[in-house]
Chain A
Amino acid sequence: MTTLPATTVKKLGLVIDLDTCVGCQACVTACKGWNDQGYGALLSDQDPYGANPSGTFLNRVHSYAVQPPEGAAQIINFPRSCLHCEDAPCVTVCPTGASYKRAEDGIVLVNEDACMGCGLCAWACPYGAREMDADAGVMKKCTLCVDRIYNDNLPEADREPACVRGCPTGARHFGDFADPGSAVSTLSAARGGYALMPDLGTRPTNRYLPPRKKDMRQDASLLAPLLDIQATGFAGWLDRLLGKI
């Protein structure tokens, strides 16, 4: 049913730390790798080795240059994926009942057996989180690796989304935002985590941590005293003598 649950027991989601993300795209690769072997239709590629490759990805990493009013510009890498919104517009627009939000943990999923590939949910999402698979003809989106996080066959350390597990800089965190004492809740509170485009009324679960304040650039070089070389001793005598000729 595409009506949204009034509330969910857990609110599972991600914290993405824009301070530590280096834009290596490891999360993109880890996501594509994991979601290519289990849950639902494969994430297909079209013309992968040709001149005009294209494919389905559930996570994309943008790079932006941000110029503060004072100081140097910053490069900020910006991963973009499903935010598992509490008022997910992608769910309510679905005519077939394929899109749904789970009452137990808040994960937004697509039942591919019911999806007719109309694409309306992708239109309704302001964040571009959904991509229609050109091969399977069904809508694909982030599942928060629902087939990992509850999977008893995996070692406990692996029971988190592939993007979080694969991040080499620890820029991604997974947890329950419904619990104010959880690691993601406290991290988000401590670092001023924010939601994307809150005025659209989607109430996203995921939070982005803004980059920490940067030091101001020092114009004077630390090497300056060392570079001011005064000749002493014999070299000094030679220097003075040569200056007089």
Chain B
Amino acid sequence: MHPAPSVIVFSVLSGMGFGLLAYLGVGLVHLSGWLAFMWWGLGYGLAIIGLLAATLHLANPKNALKAFSQWRSSWLSREAIAAVATLVVLAPVALSDWLTLGWPRQIGLLGAALAVFTVFTTSMIYTQIKAVPRWNHWSNPVMFLAFCLTGGAVLALQPFAGYALAGLAPLLWWVWHIGDQQFGLRAQTLGTATGLDRIGDVTVFEQAHTAGNYLLREMIFVVARKHVVRLRLIAVGLASVGPALLLVLLPHHPVVFGAAALCHLVGALAARWLFFAQAEHVVGLYYGKRQGFDVG
């Protein structure tokens, strides 16, 4: 799948932002005054910048408001509603923290749950697509939620953040390992896609068109296979191992947390780029473009 920068930025930033909002909502970081304003502002800022980045992906954004209407069937619509609901529900808690109004915080728990649910809906936009076998697996929401809660923990200056970051490395390898097998497990080939396997071995004789088209650009993105292992190491190193070492070895100073958060952010962007670039859509079969990332 084409790794569109707008969607990568959206899902990574809003994931971290909603993660931070969840910790703030529960009260694991309980700040007051301008410090509270800055932290809540960081959470709201990341979530909103992410959502705005997502609208850059739209070819016809004037109809974007209609995306709140189809929650009965569409995960993308559910995500839009959950995101706005989270930001609205947490607003009084944020206001109370900033202006030290002392309002009851129970609604913060609901807001935190909504924040996590929003990231779950984001993950389901991809997980629901059977035509992309790598995404169509329950490990996918686990990965999105792990990034949300880990990134949020670093931004929320949680003492356990270093260990959470360390846990991301084996989780990512596991998700990639599962993902590598999915296309093969579905056993879809050019033969089954065309139904011509009932006659014999099928190969492409002539492509349907001589120039590029939307399908080739959007869904048959080809990434150099030799770079996959290297990119995975970079993603794991920056998103997990590097910031985990920073937080485990160095004293828990906000500057160390800041450095760890930046490092994790870059790694998360690399991992999300791979999430799209490695994912193969079954329509590629019709073009004889099965790549295979079975690198183990």
Residues of A with Cβ closer than 8 Å to B?
Answer: 1-4, 18, 23, 52-57, 60-69, 73-76, 78, 80, 89, 91-98, 113-120, 122-128, 131-132, 134, 136-138, 194-197, 199-201, 208, 210-211
A129 to chain B: closest CB distance in Å? 9
Contacts A66-B196, A117-B59, A194-B195; A131 near B131 (Cβ below 8 A): no
Ordered by A's residue number, 10 sampled pairs between the chains whose C-beta atoms are within 8 Å are: A61-B208, A89-B130, A89-B131, A93-B75, A96-B70, A119-B59, A119-B218, A120-B76, A138-B59, A199-B186
A194 to chain B: closest CB distance in Å? 5
Query: Which listed residue (B72, B76, B125, B282) contacts A197, Cβ 8 A?
Result: B282
With a cutoff of 8 Å between Cβ atoms, the chain A residues found around residue B212 in the complex are: 52, 54
Contacts A96-B66, A116-B66; A123 near B132 (Cβ below 8 A): yes
With a cutoff of 8 Å between Cβ atoms, the chain B residues found around residue A208 in the complex are: 195
Nearest-CB residue, chain B, relative to A75: B205
Nearest-CB residue, chain A, relative to B195: A194
With a cutoff of 8 Å between Cβ atoms, the chain A residues found around residue B75 in the complex are: 93
Nearest-CB residue, chain A, relative to B125: A120
With a cutoff of 8 Å between Cβ atoms, the chain B residues found around residue A211 in the complex are: 199
Nearest-CB residue, chain A, relative to B217: A54
Q: Are A97 and B69 in contact (CB under 8 A)?
A: yes
Query: Which listed residue (A60, A68, A113, A126) contacts B282, Cβ 8 A?
Result: A126
With a cutoff of 8 Å between Cβ atoms, the chain B residues found around residue A132 in the complex are: 59, 214, 218
Q: Are A64 and B132 in contact (CB under 8 A)?
A: no
Nearest-CB residue, chain B, relative to A132: B214
Q: Are B201 and A122 in contact (CB under 8 A)?
A: no
Contacts A114-B66, A200-B131; A64 near B60 (Cβ below 8 A): no
Nearest-CB residue, chain B, relative to A116: B63
Q: Are A131 and B74 in contact (CB under 8 A)?
A: no
Quick one: which of B74, B188, B209 has the most chain A CB within 10 A? B74
Q: List B181-238 residues whose CB lies under 8 Å from chain A.
A: 186, 188, 190, 192-196, 198-209, 211-215, 218-219
Contacts A95-B77, A131-B215; A117 near B208 (Cβ below 8 A): no
What is the bound-complex CA distance between A210 and B131, given in angstroms?
24
With a cutoff of 8 Å between Cβ atoms, the chain A residues found around residue B128 in the complex are: 89, 93, 124
Contacts A60-B209, A132-B218, A200-B130; A2 near B195 (Cβ below 8 A): no
What is the bound-complex CA distance between A2 and B70, given in angstroms?
7
Nearest-CB residue, chain A, relative to B57: A118
Nearest-CB residue, chain B, relative to A211: B199
Contacts A95-B76, A124-B131, A131-B215; A1 near B63 (Cβ below 8 A): no
Contacts A64-B205, A66-B202, A197-B192; A131 near B69 (Cβ below 8 A): no
With a cutoff of 8 Å between Cβ atoms, the chain A residues found around residue B125 in the complex are: 93, 120
Q: Are B129 and A124 in contact (CB under 8 A)?
A: yes
Q: Does B251 count as interface, using CB distance less than 8 angstroms? A: no
Q: Does B80 count as interface, using CB distance less than 8 angstroms? A: yes
Nearest-CB residue, chain A, relative to B69: A97
A210 to chain B: closest CB distance in Å? 6
Contacts A123-B129, A125-B131, A126-B282; A94 near B60 (Cβ below 8 A): no
Q: Are A196 and B194 in contact (CB under 8 A)?
A: yes
With a cutoff of 8 Å between Cβ atoms, the chain B residues found around residue A64 in the complex are: 190, 194, 196, 202-205
Q: Does B1 count as interface, using CB distance less than 8 angstroms? A: yes
Contacts A125-B131, A200-B130; A92 near B61 (Cβ below 8 A): no
Q: Are B205 and A63 in contact (CB under 8 A)?
A: yes
Q: Does B295 count as interface, using CB distance less than 8 angstroms? A: no
Nearest-CB residue, chain B, relative to A79: B208
Other contacts beyond A52-B212, A118-B76, A128-B286: 10, CB < 8 A: A57-B209, A63-B206, A67-B201, A78-B196, A95-B74, A98-B66, A123-B1, A125-B283, A128-B215, A131-B214
Query: Which listed residue (B130, B131, B201) contacts A66, Cβ 8 A?
Result: B201
What is the bound-complex CA distance between A126 and B131, given in angstroms?
5
Q: Are A54 and B202 in contact (CB under 8 A)?
A: no
Contacts A96-B70, A126-B131, A138-B59; A66 near B200 (Cβ below 8 A): yes
B72 to chain A: closest CB distance in Å? 5
What is the bound-complex CA distance between A53 and B210, given in angstroms?
9
What is the bound-complex CA distance between A74 and B62, given in angstroms?
49
With a cutoff of 8 Å between Cβ atoms, the chain A residues found around residue B62 in the complex are: 116
Quick one: which of A114, A126, A136 has the most chain B CB within 10 A? A126
Nearest-CB residue, chain A, relative to B74: A95
Contacts A66-B202, A201-B130; A54 near B213 (Cβ below 8 A): yes
Nearest-CB residue, chain B, relative to A3: B73
